[in-house]
């Protein structure tokens, strides 16, 4: 079995010490990670001998402690050996080696004592100072020098842990030479080595380097100047100036930066001829993790290399972020690369691929990019969705949101703080907008020439004015009543109620376009706000939705954010103050706060065991005259818990029922302006009959009918001009409609009581309701299931579904 020779082991030990010294100066972040690997609680500022009890179980910790001790014991004398000849050469004066060696001897004694059992450092410091006093009182100058050197060296070595080596080297050199230059340099050398293992990754060869890690460069420079001026007054000007210069050089690491700067210029010139990007692995930060002063060209070179070698460019960016103090350089490189990628888009497919090309960018992105890059990535994903659509018209429709988003982004860039970035991203937004609008026009022409019927019906989701445009039909009476009541001298609380999927949310989304400008409707989805489990969370969600909704209005309003501290301390008084502030800054406007799915407030009351949200609402009604509340849901107040009526008095109910027949016919035959006539009159009549003008069911039947006809066109190669939807076609899609709308129909059935279900079953079987069924009939009439007579279903499709459901149960 081979054994390592003592000589080889010694050289390995020395090599490890030198590596440790290199890490202390140039690789502080690597050094810190290495220490965590030795011991999870060990930090660069820690004295490893404080964990001496763990040495037997952790050999690496013991080895590290020994290396630290030797470095602290020997490096100061080597530092002095380097400084002394320079001083002698420059000044022409001899170096006082005797006092220097005496002080170093004292320092070494202090290190031995500190490593041993003498842990009462305060006592040792007091005894040392007392010894100096006695020596000064009774001994000669030479004896005083010797005693002072040994005593102070031992005292600082014990009292200040490793930091004492700084004082040891500084004073030993300074005692033998003029204090002016050497105390700054040698004090820094010693302290950076000594506290490099104890004081926050002490790097550099000066006291200023160590201090720059403990605080920051600006503070270090200020301290150096202040200390220099002070010492210049107390001792002499030469000392203060020299110390300041030495200290500033230490903070800024100029002696390392100058060769790194020269090396940077060399790499830059190499990069002009070498395009593979491999030169990035020779950048100075790979060898020196703590470069205080800036180095030119680095971000530019990384961005340029990305085009040829993205792997090494991204590796360099990751290294700069995680292992150096050059995060700003990495950020600038990311911005340059992102702008280059975005600028290269020339086709619709290029925009769609952007989200794939930028997956490496950290999330959240650099603050300089703000919300601009995320918005562009969302636009890219919208373009992707458009390209994946199966028909030209659907692709045309799906391009509308990205185009609207780009237009909003252009407008927002007008107020951007960074003018340079705003100009660059504004140019990108203009180019993208041109590409998207050109593609949309092409798709529109293609869709018109297509042999398939355009799918323009939207079944299920609420209609958004930004994408659905004029597909929303009717409800003029609702809009007029809301406007009239909101503008009245004493507006009531408005309650917009109706069955599921009758278009309540769609109406609220279209409301800003339907009322006068001084009414500001602000839609809040309480289904989302009710997900909060605390009052603070609910209040934050509510305020954020109000802010976001105001920014999406046709006439945008930019509301301030509420005070975050006050919101966290007491949410609802903070909201009241915030709403009052909005009211004062927008005089002449009435804010219509539309709380959709208002029944969800009961969940908040239950989850928080507090009625504070309802108290907030009542306070708002009583004291904020410019704020009017509109509740929207599928229940009247009488159907909720009794406490609701205590909080919402003077409520005006507005019922959202089915469409008028004329409105339903317009929705069927003319969902958009240039839609072709694809229906026979009998088909339209049958749709009206089967749906009773229920808007969701009308949209669903028309959607499935278009899909049915397009399938027939593809299968039989029929011409679009000759195809018409017939009543027979409508009959054939009924099973598909019942399957697609299963959730809607089943929800109706599940919300019925046993008496309700029993009566409906009897009516299906042909029986007539008895006088005892009057209450049930009235309830089912309010729910828009039965007619006033009580013996006929309002919506035949609902009857067909229930009949099938009862057959399956039997």
Q: What is the mean pLDDT of residues 504-530?
A: 91
Rounded to whole angstroms, the Cα distance separating 387 from 392 reads 9
Place of tokens 């009566």: 759
Q: Token match 């185009």: residue?
A: 403
* 549 pLDDT above the threshold of 50: yes
Report the SS3 class of residue 586: coil
According to the model, what pLDDT value does residue 396 have? 87
**Which residues are 596's β-sheet partners?**
525, 632
Instruction: For 44-92, write each residue's pLDDT tens digit.
Output: 888 888 888 888 999 998 888 888 888 877 777 777 777 778 777 877 7
Among 255, 146, 237, 129, smallest CA distance to 192 is for 255
Tokens 């003592």 belong to which residue? 6
Residues 495, 500: Cα–Cα separation, whole Å: 15
254-296 pLDDT, tens digit per residue, is: 778 889 899 999 998 888 887 777 889 899 999 988 888 889 9
* Beta-sheet strands, E only, within 583-711: 590-596, 627-633, 651-655
CA neighbor of 31 nearest in space, from 20, 40, 39: 20
How far is the CA of 124 from the CAs of 109, 222, 596, in angstroms?
12, 33, 75
pLDDT at residue 345 is higher than 50: yes
Q: Are 578 and 509 in contact (CB under 8 A)?
A: no
Q: Given a cut of 60, is residue 207 above it in pLDDT?
A: no
Does the structure show a pLDDT above 80 at 627?
yes
- Asked if 667 and 711 count as a contact pair (C-beta separation under 8 A), the reply is no
Local confidence band at 128 (pLDDT 50, 70, 90 cut-offs): low
Q: Does the structure show a pLDDT above 80 at 245?
A: no
pLDDT (average), residues 110-127:
54
pLDDT band for 719, please (50, 70, 90 cuts): low
Model confidence at 695, pLDDT cuts 50, 70, 90, reads very high
Integer-rounded Cα Rg, in Å, for the chain is 40
Determine if the peptide bond prior to 364 is cis (ω within 30°): yes
Return the sign of the alpha-carbon dihedral for residues 637, 642, 644, 645.
positive
pLDDT-derived band at 416 (thresholds 50, 70, 90) equals: confident
Average pLDDT, the chain: 79
pLDDT higher than 90, residue 665: yes
CA count, 13 A, side-chain hemisphere, 718: 15
CA distance 799 to 807: 12
Q: Please check whether residue 302 is in contact with residue 316, taking contact to mean a CB–CB distance below 8 angstroms.
A: yes
Structure tokens given for 271? 């990069």
pLDDT over threshold 90, residue 763? yes
Q: What is the pLDDT of residue 776?
A: 92
Q: Could you tell me which residue, 344 or 194, shows the higher pLDDT?
A: 344
Residues 106, 149 contacting (CB under 8 angstroms): yes
Task: Choose the weakest-confidence range: 122-131, 233-242, 432-441, 642-651.
Answer: 233-242
**What are the residue ranges of helices labelled H in 195-286?**
207-214, 217-234, 237-252, 254-273
Residues 614, 615, 621, 625, CA torsion sign: negative
CA atoms within 13 A on the CB side of 326: 28
Rounded average pLDDT over 23-37: 87
pLDDT tens-place string over residues 98-109: 766 766 676 666
C-beta neighbour count of 290 within 10 angstroms: 21
| pLDDT at residue 523, rounded to an integer | 95
- How far apart (Å, rounded) are the C-alpha atoms in residues 144 and 617? 83
Q: What are φ and ψ of residue 725, in 5° steps?
A: -80, 130
Would you say 613 and 543 are in contact if contact means Cβ atoms under 8 Å apart? no
pLDDT at 545: 93
Percentage of the chain modeled with pLDDT above 70:
79
What's the whole-model pTM score?
0.62
- pLDDT of 227 reads 39
pLDDT band at 243; cut points 50, 70, 90: low
> CB–CB of 326/320 below 8 Å?
yes
Q: Contact at 8 Å (CB) between 578 and 570?
A: no
Instruction: Check if the beta carbon of residue 249 is closer than 8 Å to that of residue 230.
Output: no
Q: Phi first, then psi: give them for residue 496, nearest 5 degrees.
A: -95, 110
For the segment 581-598, what is each residue's pLDDT rounded down to a tens digit?
999 888 889 999 999 999
Contacts with 712 (C-beta within 8 Å, 6 or more apart), sequence order:
718, 723
CA angle 382, 386, 388 (to 5 degrees): 115
207 near 192, Cβ under 8 Å?
yes
CB 157 within 8 A of CB 113: yes
**In this structure, what token pair is assigned to residue 411?**
């407008």
Higher pLDDT: 602 or 194? It is 602
Q: What is the rounded average pLDDT of the residues 184-213?
A: 34
The tens digit of pLDDT for each residue in 361-391 reads: 877 777 777 678 888 888 998 999 888 887 7
Q: For residues 334 and 339, what is the distance between their CA atoms, to the nearest angstrom?
A: 9
- pLDDT reading at 218 higher than 90: no
Distance CA 313, CA 316 (A): 5
Other beta carbons less than 10 A from residue 598's beta carbon? 27
What distance in Å separates the CA atoms of residue 688 and residue 267, rounded to the nearest whole number?
77
- pLDDT band at residue 206 under the 50/70/90 scheme: very low
Is residue 355 over pLDDT 60? yes
pLDDT for the residue numbered 164: 37
Closest CA to 510 of 479, 546, 488, 486: 479
For residue 257, the model assigns a pLDDT of 87
Q: pLDDT value at position 99? A: 65
Q: What pLDDT, on the 0 to 100 scale, is given for residue 333?
A: 92
Number of residues assigned to the chain: 810
Torsion sign, CA atoms 600, 602, 607, 611: positive
Residue given tokens 């907030």 in the structure block: 616
Q: Is the pLDDT score of 211 beyond 50?
A: no
Residues 249 and 217: their CA atoms lie apart, in Å, by 11
114, 583, 755, 790 from 779: Cα distances, Å = 90, 42, 11, 10
Q: Does residue 206 contact residue 192 with C-beta atoms inside 8 Å?
A: yes
What is the rounded distance in angstroms from the CA atom of residue 348 to the CA atom of residue 351? 5
Q: What pLDDT, on the 0 to 100 scale, is given for residue 188? A: 36
Q: What is the reported pLDDT for 112?
A: 67
What count of other Cβ atoms lies within 10 Å of the Cβ of residue 310?
14
326 in Cβ contact with 291 (< 8 Å): yes
């Amino acid at each position: 079995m081979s054994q390592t020779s003592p000589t080889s082991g010694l050289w390995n030990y020395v090599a490890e010490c030198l590596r440790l010294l290199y890490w202390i100066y140039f690789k502080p972040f690597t050094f810190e990670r290495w220490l965590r690997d030795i011991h999870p609680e060990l930090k660069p500022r820690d004295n490893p001998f404080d964990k001496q009890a763990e040495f037997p179980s952790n050999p690496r910790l013991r080895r590290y402690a020994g290396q630290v001790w030797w470095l602290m014991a020997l490096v100061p004398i080597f530092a002095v050996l380097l400084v002394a000849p320079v001083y002698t050469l420059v000044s022409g004066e001899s170096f006082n080696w005797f006092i220097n060696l005496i002080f170093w001897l004292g320092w070494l004694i202090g290190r031995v004592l500190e490593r041993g059992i003498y842990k009462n450092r305060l006592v040792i410091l007091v005894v040392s100072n007392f010894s100096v006093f006695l020596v000064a009182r009774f001994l000669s100058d030479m004896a005083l020098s010797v005693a002072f050197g040994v005593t102070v060296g031992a005292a600082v070595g014990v009292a200040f842990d490793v930091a004492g080596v700084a004082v040891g080297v500084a004073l030993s050199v300074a005692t033998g030479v003029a204090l002016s230059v050497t105390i700054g340099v040698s004090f820094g050398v010693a302290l950076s080595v000594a506290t490099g293992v104890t004081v926050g990754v002490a790097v550099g060869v000066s006291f200023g380097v160590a201090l720059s890690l403990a605080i920051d460069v600006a503070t270090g420079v200020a301290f150096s100047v202040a200390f220099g001026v002070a010492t210049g007054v107390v001792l002499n000007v030469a000392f203060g100036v020299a110390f300041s210069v030495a200290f500033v050089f230490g903070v800024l690491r100029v002696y390392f930066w100058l060769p790194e700067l020269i090396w940077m210029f060399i790499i830059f010139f190499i990069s002009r001829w070498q395009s593979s990007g491999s030169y990035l692995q020779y950048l100075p930060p790979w060898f020196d993790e703590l470069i205080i002063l800036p180095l030119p060209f680095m971000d530019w070179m990384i961005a340029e290399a990305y085009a040829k070698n993205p792997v090494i460019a991204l590796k360099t960016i990751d290294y700069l972020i995680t292992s150096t103090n050059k995060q700003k350089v990495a950020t600038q490189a990311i911005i340059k690369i992102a702008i280059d990628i975005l600028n290269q888009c020339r086709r619709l497919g290029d925009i769609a691929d952007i989200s794939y090309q930028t997956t490496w960018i950290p999330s959240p992105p650099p603050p300089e990019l703000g919300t601009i890059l995320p918005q562009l990535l969302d636009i890219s994903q919208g373009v992707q969705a458009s390209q994946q659509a199966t028909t030209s018209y659907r692709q045309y429709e799906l391009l509308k949101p990205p185009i609207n988003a780009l237009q909003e982004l252009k407008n927002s860039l007008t107020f951007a703080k960074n003018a340079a970035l705003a100009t660059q991203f504004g140019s990108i937004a203009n180019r993208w907008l041109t590409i998207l609008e050109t593609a949309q026009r092409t798709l529109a022409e293609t869709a018109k020439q297509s042999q398939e019927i355009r799918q323009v019906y939207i079944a299920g989701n609420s209609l958004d004015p930004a994408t659905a445009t004029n597909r929303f039909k009717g409800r003029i009476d609702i809009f007029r009543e809301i406007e009239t009541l909101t503008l009245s001298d004493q507006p009531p609380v408005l309650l917009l109620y109706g069955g599921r999927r009758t278009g309540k949310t769609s109406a609220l989304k279209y409301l800003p376009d339907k009322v006068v400008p001084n009414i500001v409707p602000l839609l809040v989805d309480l289904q989302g706000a009710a997900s909060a489990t605390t009052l603070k969370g609910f209040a934050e969600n509510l305020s954020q939705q109000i802010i976001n909704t105001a920014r999406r209005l046709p006439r945008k309003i930019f509301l301030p954010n509420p005070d975050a501290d006050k919101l966290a301390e007491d949410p609802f008084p903070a909201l009241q103050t915030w709403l009052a502030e909005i009211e004062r800054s927008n005089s002449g406007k009435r804010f219509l706060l539309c709380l959709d799915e208002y029944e969800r407030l009961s969940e908040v009351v239950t989850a928080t065991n507090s009625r504070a949200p309802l108290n907030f609402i009542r306070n708002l009604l009583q004291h904020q005259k410019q704020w009017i509340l509109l509740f929207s849901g599928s229940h009247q107040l009488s159907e909720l818990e009794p406490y609701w009526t205590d909080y919402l008095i003077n409520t005006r109910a507005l019922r959202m029922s089915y469409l008028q027949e004329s409105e339903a016919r317009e929705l069927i035959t003319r969902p958009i302006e240039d839609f072709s006539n694809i229906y026979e009159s009998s088909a339209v009549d049958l749709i009206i009959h089967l749906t009773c003008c229920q808007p969701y069911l009308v949209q669903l039947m028309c959607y499935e009918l278009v899909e049915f006809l397009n399938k027939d066109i593809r299968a039989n190669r029929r011409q679009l001009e000759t195809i018409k939807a017939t009543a027979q076609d409508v009959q054939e899609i009924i099973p598909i409609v019942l399957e697609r709308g299963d959730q809607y129909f089943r929800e109706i059935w599940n919300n019925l009581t046993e008496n309700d279900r029993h009566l409906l079953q009897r009516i299906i079987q042909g029986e007539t309701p008895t006088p005892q069924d009057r209450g049930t009939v009235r309830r089912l009439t309010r729910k828009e299931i039965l007619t006033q007579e009580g013996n006929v279903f309002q919506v035949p499709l609902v009857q067909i579904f229930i009949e099938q459901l009862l057959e399956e149960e039997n």
